[in-house]
Structure 1
Amino acid sequence: MSYEVAHVVEQVGPYITAALAAYGGAVLRRAEDAAVDATANQGRRLLQAVWLRSASGRRAHLEEATQEAADEPDNADAQAALRQYIRRALREDVEMLREVVQLLPASQATVTAVGNRSIAAKNVTGIAITGDHARVQK
């Protein structure tokens, strides 16, 4: 499987923001909370996946970035620093990237077309044709 790291980080962003709002800086060590909405719990799971798969020496950096983003929710720089850490971690660990992609809801699945005249579609309900002089007969 091939994933675009920047796209995955973009998809993860809203979940992480919700998790930080619900759990604050303790998000990395908190258990799922039934009183917290599904989006925030999903964000907690995504952040914890990155944290747990990170080398122990790098966890402190993630904890710091997470705490700063939670303490200053309106600080775009703090939010960007957290996303940058996650982006770097996903680039360096293909298994972590796979795990994070698998944690994303199915509706977030990426469909990518590669090559000349290729078609990208999540669901095809009719005929899809590429090429010159194509004919369709019923």
Structure 2
Amino acid sequence: MSAEIAQLVEQAGPAVTAAVGAYGAAVLTRAQDAAAEATVGLGQRILQLVWRRRDEAGRTELEQVVGEAADEQDDTYSTAVLGRLLRHALQDDPGLREEMSALLPAPAAGTVTITAAGERSIAAQHIGTAITGDGHTPPRS
């Protein structure tokens, strides 16, 4: 897998997972609501872009994968399944890579922005165990 495809999947994955979580399998055909949150809207646009570029068999496969991810209660699993789908679609279609690159913001080289808001919030790029609140003791390994 090329670095370009890996980067596109990494950028698109959270948005696609959020869209499937919000709309389920209907994300492929649903018209975007004006009130839709930005990440969900981006994920929906990405999935609809993939949908439009597939043949009938590809659309059926996409519906099955999105339906499976929508029914799944484990976001980690859904992210992996949808990421695999995006990787395959991007590997098979250079034009899709170009269109998806245009939808996604350009990655900032070496820049990481992490924000935490609210009382006892935690923000970290990499973290092991984090506990907020009163009266907790660290877990034992």
* TM more than 0.5: yes
Unmatched 5+ stretches in structure 2:
112-141
Report the residue type matching 1:90 in the other structure.
L
Larger Rg: 1
Q: Corresponding residue for 1:127?
A: none
Is the CA contact (8 Å cut-off) linking 1:62 and 1:82 kept in structure 2?
no
Paired-residue identity, %? 46
Unmatched 5+ stretches in structure 1:
112-119, 123-138
2: CA distance between counterparts of 1:46 and 1:29? 12
Alignment TM-score, normalising by the size of structure 2: 0.70
**Matched length:** 110
Q: Corresponding residue for 1:25?
A: 25
Deviations along 1:107-129, one digit per CA (max 9) or x if unpaired, are xx136xxxxxxxx679xxxxxxx
Q: Corresponding residue for 1:45?
A: 45
* Stretches of 4+ aligned residues off by more than 6 angstroms: none
Q: Corresponding residue for 1:87?
A: 87
- The answer to whether 1:70 aligns with 2:58 is no
CA RMSD in angstroms comes to 2.1
Q: Corresponding residue for 2:100?
A: 100
Three-state SS of the structure 1 residue aligned to 2:35 is: coil
Alignment TM-score, normalising by the size of structure 1: 0.71
